[in-house]
Homo-oligomer: A and B are copies of this chain.
Amino acid sequence: MYFCVNKYLMTRSEENYIKTIFHLGRKGTQEVATNAIAELMETKPSSVTDMIKRLSEKDLVNYKRYQGVSLTALGNKTALGIIRKHRLWEVFLVEKLDFSWDEVHEVAEQLEHIKSDKLIDSLDRLLAFPKFDPHGDPIPDKNGGFKERDRELLSEVAINTGGVCVGVKDSSATFLKFLDKNGIALGNQIKVMEIEEFDGSLNIEIDGRKMQISHVIASNLYIKAKDEI
């Protein structure tokens, strides 16, 4: 089958481009700009154009000069396969090898390119088929299906409401370490008590403990909506 042929012939670089286009294009449906890809991948726009042409040859992306790029159905499936591997490896590193959530991404960037269906399916089983990675992001199943969890940014909820912290928007090591230092983790119960007029900072109650966080922090924390508390 075409998908299988392609899947095992892709280079690491091609896979990274496909993944980036997926992330920038909200599941690959939207058109993505050359410059946006270049910026995120820390490469030059001319390099991106080169690669886009190659990916287009392989029917992984739709491309018309100057009109941006989007994933084909094949490209989308490929992206989901890589993301599945990335997130499963992140779970493995945290659950089995005692990595902290700010250490896993770099290694997962390497591990996501290992090619073996049996490996990834066995890993999935070893981890008891996790649905979310250490940052709260959903893990696609074998067929690329996954349910985006119903969540909203803490910065968007009304006073006196809250919910369980289920994810981070920014998953950079610096932000994650900041959260660790301040005792904020996934699973914590968070309630917004007050919002400062002046700078938008929030007084919250997190697992019973009161603290103040900036608007920037709040706009990078996802909570599972649970209406009035």
Contacts and interface: CB of A to CB of B under 8 A. Distances in A.
Contacts of A106: 116
A65 interface: no
Interface in A82-107: 93, 96-99, 103, 106-107
Interface in A104-127: 106-107, 110-111, 114-116, 118-119, 122-123, 126
Nearest to A111: B114
Chain A, interface size: which category? Answer: 10 to 19
A93 B96 CA distance: 14
Contacts of A118: 99, 103, 107
B98 A119 contact: no
A98 B110 contact: no
Nearest to A106: B116
B110 A122 contact: no
A16 to B, nearest CB: 15
Contacts of A115: 110
**Closest 6 A/B residue pairs (Cβ):** A97-B122, A107-B116, A110-B114, A107-B119, A96-B126, A97-B126
